[in-house]
Structure 1
Amino acid sequence: MPPGARNDRLRAMLRATAWTFGGLARAVNIAGAEVGLRLRYDRTAVAHWLSGARPQDQVPALIAEVLTRRLGRRVTLSEIGLYHADGGTDGSGGVDGMVDLAELTRADLDPAGHAVLAHTVYQLDALVVAASPGTARRVRLHRDLDRTGSLSQPTITQHIAEVFAAANHQFGSGATRTALTAYLVHDVLPRLGTSETEIAHRDLLGAATDLALLIGFMCFDSNENGLAQRYYRTALDLAVLSGDPVRYAVVLRHLSQQACHLGHGVQALGLALTALTAGSGLATPHTSAFLHAQVALCHATLGHHEDAVAHHCSARDSLRDAIGPPPTFGSYHQGELAYHAASILTLDCDTNGAITALHTALRHYPATERRSRLLALAALAERQLDIGLLVHACSTAHRFLDDYPHVFSGRVTTAMDTLRKRLRPLRGHPSARRFLLRGASL
């Protein structure tokens, strides 16, 4: 569309949605918030777009996404007269998982590339997935030794993945993400094309799936939800390529967690149920608990109380049957069980029950899972504020501040901002004032 020309394509699409100018603007603002953009568009902005002005940066993709959600079909940039000036595509993928991972990670390592990727649009229709990886087979755990009897490279890669995962738990996504991405780009991906045996290749492919999943979670933890979704979908493609139903289920569970976090409860429940089906009969008790817990949370989000309780009990029972060391990816423990119980109780408006559950979660969370402890402390302080326990809430908030400077996490920063907003109107009280002053000093 020539610069300055009326955008009749967007006008026709807007007419098909029955939205007002203000309705479209509000939808774009909400979709922008999902990917960390603070947009303040109103009906005037929409009028400018219809007159031929091109929105900046990622906004055309956001407009296409909200229209997609409204109409129930994929709407392209060309259909709304906002195609890329360079003739490029919408960037929605569709390439082989290995190629997509290589291109995505290399662009992500480049500061200029990451600046663009960070605001990748989160797409609801990308949550439509197959019920299983197709060529699923039962995957046995084993240690692959080379001719000298030393550990093979895939096992070393799995060990390094465990190190990165542990650092993510303790220090947050911002501490090691660049190093993890570089390791995947410069070490793991080149070796995937040179694996000497089928077993070595399969194990290395599984490790690459885990690392892509972990980077996706780090993006989610950094509130970069569109980029997180791209990594998750790439990890899902790799799980299909390796025919690993358990890894497939674990990735689906993460996609469900993200969708639930963003308020897309129906899609989140569909993903969680598909994950449970894919892992049925194959997942360890730890992972089975991990999958049931997400189904429970999704049901609670949608107000399905009985289903939520039933799946939460199934998660508890699976955890009771778990023996031996938990897996690095797809694991679950008593702290997480209690934290999810608190979330379900909060949605059921049982604030006192949620407070009790959060105290239980904090007793069970390992000291090494610092980010999870911080999120539980923030939730506890909020629930205490809900029932007027200001002094207790401020005491809990100070415990939150003790570890806050040591964790680099967008979700933790959001929790901190929420506590400040809730306590600022109460700053006349000495306890609230002390927290706000201490928080400001950090």
Structure 2
Amino acid sequence: MDPSRRGVLGAGLYSVALTVPGWPDVVGRFERIRADPHSRIGRGEVESVIAMTERISEIDDQFGGRTARPMAAAFLVNNIAPYLRATASEPVRRAMLSASADHLYLTGYMAVDERLDTLGQRYYTKALELSLAAGDHLTYCTTLRGMSVQAVELGHGAAALRYAEAASTASPQAGPRMRAFLAGQQAHALAQTGDRVGALAMLHVAEVAMEQAESKAKAHGSYDPASLAYHVAQVNFELGDRDGAIRALQRSEKVRPLVYRRARVRHRAMLAEWQVEAGRLEEGVRNWHLALDDYPQVQSGRADDRFRAMVVATKPHTRNHHVRELLDRAGSMAAGR
């Protein structure tokens, strides 16, 4: 059984009025948690949560949220919840809160990938609470940014901007990679709200910060040039520059590490959609075929969204034999899922 599904109805209903928890309420709430005197944890348990989160994240990148989230949810119920009730030294307790917050953020991200958006919001809210209780600004800001990504993908630009700005405000001492990470998302949200000047200015902030970050040691799995190019593409698209959006997304695909299979499916399909909108049908068909190469291995609601968008976008072109071949291939895949 997937423990995270208990009592969840209408999990696809996104709330733009979600309340971000505040520091005093969270600290008081966690101070009142009743510890289990018969259970004690140490650094080993903290390291196990960190390692499990990393492994599940790798599986998610390659195979999608529907594959990976049940593992994360089961680990949360069976391992993390008892760890949070166990007695521990203060440093270990804070480290466990931080590791658990990161796990909850990932679980929320995977729920959003399944298009269980309300469920994702619930996980995100709990991640914010735990990261505040731990004093973990990195996970707090990362979670707020995740909430902004969810909002902007659903077309709620104002909410996306509110979360992105909250993340930036909460991270005044951020290093250059985190500044790029946050500024890129702010730029996307600003563009969706129609603020061209603000979006381009924030995109410049992200580009400068990325240059500074790339001159230092690289961190695996963090915001990278492919991610920045993706934000450039999204900003251009929102501002009506289709050619600029296509070029930036092509650049993103060239430098994205191969391990990110789900992103490859989604972004190649998105690129194909934009190319067809720009009258470049044959290029679009080629990119849809590339997306379909990986699609059968990815269990992702967001990837499924792109599959359905492909069917809609090609309807006006079904007399083209390349399109018919594409749809025949897609049809056989749909029948097998």
| TM-score of Structure 1 vs Structure 2, range by shorter chain | 0.7 to 0.9
Deviation at 1:193, TM superposition (A): 2.2
**SS state of the match for residue 169, structure 1?**
helix
1:156-188 per-position Cα deviation (integer Å, ceiling 9, x unaligned): 321221111111111110111111111111112
Decide whether the 8 Å contact of 1:260 with 1:268 is kept in 2: yes
Matches of 1:110 and 1:370 in 2, distance apart? Answer: 25
Q: Which amino acid aligns with 1:109?
A: P
- 1:123/1:226 contact within 8 Å kept: yes
| Partner-residue secondary structure (3-state), 1:362 | helix
- Please report how far the alpha carbon of residue 319 of structure 1 lies from its aligned counterpart in structure 2 after TM superposition: 1.8
Matching residue of 2:271: 380
Q: Is the 8 A contact 1:132 1:248 kept in 2?
A: no
Mapped partners of 1:230, 1:129: distance in 2: 12
- Amino acid in structure 2 at the alignment position of 1:203: A
Q: Structure 2 CA distance, aligned partners of 1:198 and 1:185?
A: 22
Counterpart-to-counterpart distance in 1, 2:292 and 2:76: 34
Number of matched pairs: 317
Could you say which residue in structure 2 is the equivalent of 1:412? 303
Q: What is the percent sequence identity of the aligned residues?
A: 32
Note the C-alpha offset of 1:124.
2.2
Match status 1:289 vs 2:180: yes
Mapped to 2, the partners of 1:368 and 1:132 lie a distance apart of 40
Q: TM-score, normalised by structure 2?
A: 0.88
Corresponding residue SS for 2:86: coil
Structure 1 residue runs of 5 or longer lacking an equivalent are: 1-105, 136-149
Measured on the aligned residues, the alpha-carbon RMSD in Å equals 2.2
Structure 1 position 422, deviation (Å): 0.9
Alpha-carbon contact 1:120-1:225 (below 8 Å) kept: yes
1:324 aligns with 2:185: no
Partner of 2:172: 280
1:237 — aligned with what? Answer: 129
TM-score with structure 1 setting the length: 0.68
Matching residue of 1:109: 3
Following superposition, the deviation at residue 379 of structure 1 comes to: 1.3
> Residues 406 and 164 of structure 1: is their aligned pair in 2 closer, same or farther, counting only changes over 3 Å?
same
Structure 2 stretches lacking a partner, 5+ long: 28-41
Between the aligned partners of 1:390 and 1:373, the Cα distance in structure 2 is: 20
Higher helix share: 2
**How far is the alpha carbon of 1:246 from its aligned partner?**
2.2
Give the deviation of 1:110 after TM superposition: 7.0
Q: How does 1:35-434 map to 2 (within 5 A)?
A: 109=3, 113=6, 116-117=8-9, 119=11, 121-127=13-19, 130=22, 152-281=44-173, 283-322=174-213, 323-326=216-219, 331-434=222-325
Classify 1:325/1:154 alpha carbon distance in 2 versus 1 (closer, same or farther; 3 Å): farther
Q: Please tell me whether the aligned partners of residues 65 and 114 of structure 2 are also in contact (alpha carbons under 8 angstroms).
A: yes
Structure 1 stretch displaced more, 271-280 or 189-198? 189-198
Greater RCO, CA 8 A, separation 6+: 2
Q: CA separation in 1, counterparts of 2:242 and 2:136?
A: 40
**SS of the residue 1:152 aligns to:** helix
* One-letter amino acid of the structure 2 residue matched with residue 181 of structure 1: A
Q: Is the 8 A contact 2:65 2:299 kept in 1?
A: yes
**1:212 deviation in Å?**
0.8
Query: Residues of 2 paired with 1:339 and 1:247: CA distance?
Result: 22
